[in-house]
Amino acid sequence: MNIGIDAIAFTTSRYLMPLEELARRRQVDYQKYCIGLGQTEMAVFPPNEDIVTLGIAAAKRAIQFVSDKDSIDLVIFATESSFDVSKSAGIYVHHFLDLSSSCRVFDIKQACYSLTAALQMAKNHVQLYPKARALVIGSDIVHYELDSAAEPTQGGGAVAIVVSANPRIMRIEPFSGLYTTDVMDFWRPVKKDEALVDGKLSTYTYMKSLEICYEQYKQLSGLDSEDLSRVCFHTPFTKMARKANNLFFSEKNIDASLLYNTIIGNSCSASLYIALISLLDNTEEDLSEKRIGLFSYGSGSMAEFFSGTIVAGYRDMLTSDDNKKMLASREHVTWQQYRDFRANKQPVPADDFYTSGDIRLEQIEEDKRIYSIRS
Ligand code: CAA
């Protein structure tokens, strides 16, 4: 049975900080950001946007392709920027999408790897229950310490994927190279809003993980680089993906897969799948029946290399024009707004910032988050 991605959509903030401005303020040569890291803009988030509002916006765009919403009996919300260690962010999504109450809903984490874990679990679920559909969502807002080396690699966004039998976009193949090792390269203790990172260790572990996962993938699948049409990577910053590509796949052009991440920044769990959407939206060549390699990395660390083949007719399932319009219509924030967004942890009712979709975080009252639908 073929199982995989039946629908996929993403969203990000309506606001961005140009890295040229960040470089000027931090007195860093802009070339370091745009050439050295391969980033030109980063998504920044007003206080009334969070992983839930982002996740709902992406999910609404993905499930427009599902004729029978009640067939969704599994929702997995993958995030490393959770605000609650008990209640699942997925429950809010389930509520605002008005999904069936007979549905299993939970959150998972393993840094930026978690959406891949969700996707593979959803695939196994559909294998057991072929009529079922699963909705998996990766949603993250990445904050590092202000004025740190990691600051220009902030960003955020959400991807929602509908997993089903006979998928209309990508059939996921059964071979995975996996690598887990205990390493302190990036972590966020519960009491902290900003991730802590050992940057050099993280880039080293990312590359080492790719080497090990790809070798294992080749052994298990009997496939090699020439069997892969393109490869998409977890993209904490696009230079990282380019370095990874050059390790084994230097003959492959990955420009199309990096267009969106260059101007969004790191969206952690969503980042690999934003690369995939960017590839599908921006590749003129028909990718039908082509095999795409996917490398997922989550600090701490867990990594996976796997692949999927693109289904003929996939273009009918894309929202490429909407994606491009959404990115082109984002507003630049001023330096003061950037700092205010970070300082104001709670929205105030007078805030009227746009959110990625029609849901906004209204207020936090007695530690309860109250969301409203923008009329
Ligand atoms: N012009 C052009 N390039 C320049 C330059 C200039 N004027 N000045 C510096 N550069 C280049 C450097 O040569 C370097 O490129 P190479 O690596 O190709 O040599 C690049 O800019 C970065 O400069 P530094 O080596 O000085 O590194 P840094 O101190 O700025 O830190 C970083 C870079 C470690 C990535 C830091 O931004 C960071 O910690 N980011 C967060 C962690 C991260 O994203 N890790 C990625 C792997 S972990 C992961 O994938 C999980 C996750 O999502 C977090």
Ligand 1 and 299: CB distance under 6 A: yes
Token couple for 331: 């507003």
Percentage of the residues of the chain whose pLDDT score is greater than 90: 96
Ligand 1 and 307: CB distance under 6 A: no
Q: What local confidence, expressed as pLDDT, does residue 329 receive?
A: 98
Which tens digit of pLDDT belongs to each residue from 232-280?
A: 999 999 999 999 999 999 999 999 999 999 999 999 999 999 999 999 9
What's the rounded Cα separation, in Å, for the pair 133 and 92?
A: 19
Tell me which of 34, 49, 112, 232 is the catalytic residue: 112
What CA dihedral angle connects 91, 94, 98 and 103, to 10 degrees?
A: -100
What's the rounded Cα separation, in Å, for the pair 165 and 127?
A: 8
Q: How far is the CA of 37 from the centre of ligand 1 (A)?
A: 6
Is the pLDDT at 75 greater than 80, yes or no? yes
DSSP annotation of 35 reads: I
Say if CB 172 and CB 291 are below 8 A apart: no
> Candidates 26, 27, 31, 32: which one to mutate for ligand 1, based on the most atoms within 8 Å of Cβ?
32
Mean pLDDT of 343-352: 76
Contacting residues for 112 by C-beta, under 8 A, at least 6 apart: 80, 140, 234, 236, 266, 268, 269, 271, 272, 296, 297, 298, 299
Q: In degrees rounded to 5, what are phi and psi of residue 371?
A: -105, 150
Reply yes or no on whether 112 is catalytic. yes
Q: How far is the CA of 280 from the centre of ligand 1 (A)?
A: 27
Q: How far is the CA of 251 from the centre of ligand 1 (A)?
A: 24
Is the pLDDT at 349 greater than 90, yes or no? no
Reply yes or no on whether 289 is catalytic. no
Mean pLDDT of 358-364: 93
What's the rounded Cα separation, in Å, for the pair 258 and 275?
A: 6
Residue closest via CA to ligand 1's atom 6 equals 32
Q: What local confidence, expressed as pLDDT, does residue 346 receive?
A: 78
Residue closest via CA to ligand 1's atom 30 equals 149
Tell me which of 34, 213, 234, 268 is the catalytic residue: 234
Residue among 142, 127, 146, 115 at smallest CA distance from 50: 142
Residue among 12, 13, 49 at smallest CA distance from 344: 49
Q: How far is the CA of 30 from the centre of ligand 1 (A)?
A: 13
Residue closest via CA to ligand 1's atom 9 equals 32
Q: How far is the CA of 240 from the centre of ligand 1 (A)?
A: 8
361 has which bridge partners? 371
Token couple for 244: 């990874």
Which tens digit of pLDDT belongs to each residue from 16-62?
A: 999 999 999 999 999 999 999 999 999 999 999 999 999 999 999 99
Say if CB 304 and CB 110 are below 8 A apart: no
Q: In degrees rounded to 5, what are phi and psi of residue 28?
A: -115, 145
Cis link prior to 88 (omega < 30° from 0)? no
Mean pLDDT of 68-95: 97
- HEC secondary structure over 133-167: EEEEEEEEEECCCCCCCCHHHCEEEEEEEEEEECC
201-210, 341-350, 357-366: which range is least confident on average? 341-350
**Does the reported pTM lie above 0.85?**
yes
Average pLDDT value for the chain: 97
Q: What local confidence, expressed as pLDDT, does residue 345 receive?
A: 75
Ligand 1 and 145: CB distance under 6 A: no
Percentage of the residues of the chain whose pLDDT score is greater than 70: 99
Token couple for 178: 């996996």
Token couple for 292: 């795409």
What's the rounded Cα separation, in Å, for the pair 265 and 141?
A: 10
